[in-house]
Amino acid sequence: MPIEKEELKTMLGDFKTKVEDAIALKTKEVSDSSAKEIKDLNDKLVIAEKALKELQEQSKKSFGLPGVELEKEKFNWSKYFVGLFKNYQASISAIDASAAKNYWDTEAAFESKVCKDYSSSDGSSGGVLVPPQIYQGDVIDTVYANVAIQKMPVMRFTGLKGDMPIPVDQGNLTAYHVGETEAPAKTESTFKLEWVRPKKIGVYVRVSERLLYQTNNAIEMIVKTKMTLDAAVKMSYGLTAGKGSESEPKGILQDYSRMTGTKTISTNGRRWSIDDLAAQKMALASANELRDSATYGTIMHPNVLWGMLRERTEMYSSQAAAKQAFKLPQILIDQASIQNALKLSIEATTQIPLSTCGTSSTCSKVITGDWSKFAVATFRDPIFRISREATDSTGRSALLNDEVFMVMFLEYDGLCTRPSSFCGFDGAETLESNW
């Protein structure tokens, strides 16, 4: 139902009355702080008037929240703005925080349910899911932006509803020069089908109601952010080193033995250098696995990356000393320059496990290759559920313990579609004292 002009006037009148009452109260106080608060209140009033004018122009547009379209007439903008003003009063101690909370709980319960972080809900089943285009958009970006392989130009399948087969290329065909009427020799196909299936990540946290109340619900956003980052770490592990079980994806490292030119760069491991990156691309080129595309990249342990970036030579090469090149000891290697020179992206992840090479047990692998030959499938983007009534598997009750249960889930899978498009080297030392 469209919001009429008279309703806008009523909303503005309610809001102005509240602001004017607060200004009148503060005017009786003669102090610099009260003068500042009066100015802030007047600024709020100007902003509100501008917002309501814009709202009048947009009042005929869709509300834009899933599940709310059918109940739009229930939403009262006047109650919503009054609630925002009460929140502001509570933030400057003009009223008690409990008064603002009581207003949202009693007079504007529906508006609170829709607009409080666009995510909170009650019920033993977790209630309504977070609308994806509102809060979840930020969550999705945060998760994927903190997964090294997701930042590569991988083959992406999004919004899948169930299992999907993907052809995996395990070798090369053979081409022949033939005569005018001669047939080429038969070459056997080495393709096989692999399946991507939902692999679920879950994060569960309990937060006390007292902590939520004392922090004015700020802790809720902090916890959600932490849950998101923890999920990103687990997803990074799955795509990098996952075992390929029913509950884990088959990470890129599971195909290490089938990659091109695999070797250990030093018997006991050593510091990684740009020459090793060049050697990986050279190995791919020698095996006819190097293409002229922008899909190449490298993943490595952060310690390996920073060990390479701290190498101080103007040639960006560990061969500078051997060639007696002129050195500028104060210049550090620049990551962007390496990426531009070798035409690849470089990302770091702690989820590459340590390996043992000779006397060193702190080495790790470095993988370089064509990431368009690695598939990442997402079945269900990150979602949150919140409940104040649920009971967990230990028998703990959110209701009886005055807590809020927060859970997050996402479903994904990943696999390499052509292992020979990647080159893997072992022996990159992660321990600074061994460089």
For residues 276 and 425, state if they share a domain: yes
Q: Cα(277)–Cα(283) distance, rounded to whole angstroms?
A: 10
Is-above-0.85 flag for pTM?
no
For residues 241 and 270, state if they share a domain: no
Q: Is 336 inside any structural domain?
A: yes
Q: Which long-range contacts (CB under 8 A, 24 or more apart) does 53-61 make?
A: 55/3, 55/8, 56/3, 56/5, 56/8, 59/2, 59/3, 59/4, 59/8, 60/2
For residues 289 and 430, state if they share a domain: yes
CB atoms within 10 A of CB 324: 7
* Number of domains comprising the chain: 3
Q: What band does 2 get if pLDDT is binned at 50, 70 and 90?
A: very low
For residues 323 and 258, state if they share a domain: yes
Q: Is 397 inside any structural domain?
A: yes
pLDDT score at 129: 32
For residues 313 and 390, state if they share a domain: no
163 pLDDT above the threshold of 80: yes
| pLDDT mean over 395-407 | 86
For residues 243 and 278, state if they share a domain: no
Q: Is 170 inside any structural domain?
A: no
For residues 260 and 364, state if they share a domain: yes
Task: Label residue 47 exposed, middle or buried (CB < 10 Å: 0-12, 13-18, 19+).
Answer: exposed
| pLDDT mean over 372-401 | 84
C-beta of residue 337 within 8 angstroms of C-beta of residue 344: no
3 pLDDT above the threshold of 50: no
Residue that is last in its domain, among 83, 115, 147: 115
For residues 28 and 109, state if they share a domain: yes
Percent composition of the chain: helix, strand, coil (DSSP 3-state, to 5): 40, 20, 35
| pLDDT mean over 121-131 | 35
For residues 356 and 270, state if they share a domain: yes
Q: Is 123 inside any structural domain?
A: no
Q: Is 174 inside any structural domain?
A: no
User: What CATH number corresponds to the domain at position 403?
Assistant: 3.30.2400.10
For residues 393 and 244, state if they share a domain: yes
Task: Label residue 55 exposed, middle or buried (CB < 10 Å: 0-12, 13-18, 19+).
Answer: middle
| pLDDT mean over 175-189 | 71
Q: Which domain holds residue 59?
A: 5-115
pLDDT score at 120: 36
For residues 290 and 428, state if they share a domain: yes
Q: What percentage of the chain reaches a pLDDT higher than 90?
A: 30
422 pLDDT above the threshold of 50: yes
For residues 427 and 290, state if they share a domain: yes
| Predicted confidence (pLDDT) per residue in 246-276, tens digit | 899 999 999 999 999 999 999 999 999 999 9
| Predicted confidence (pLDDT) per residue in 307-317, tens digit | 998 875 444 45
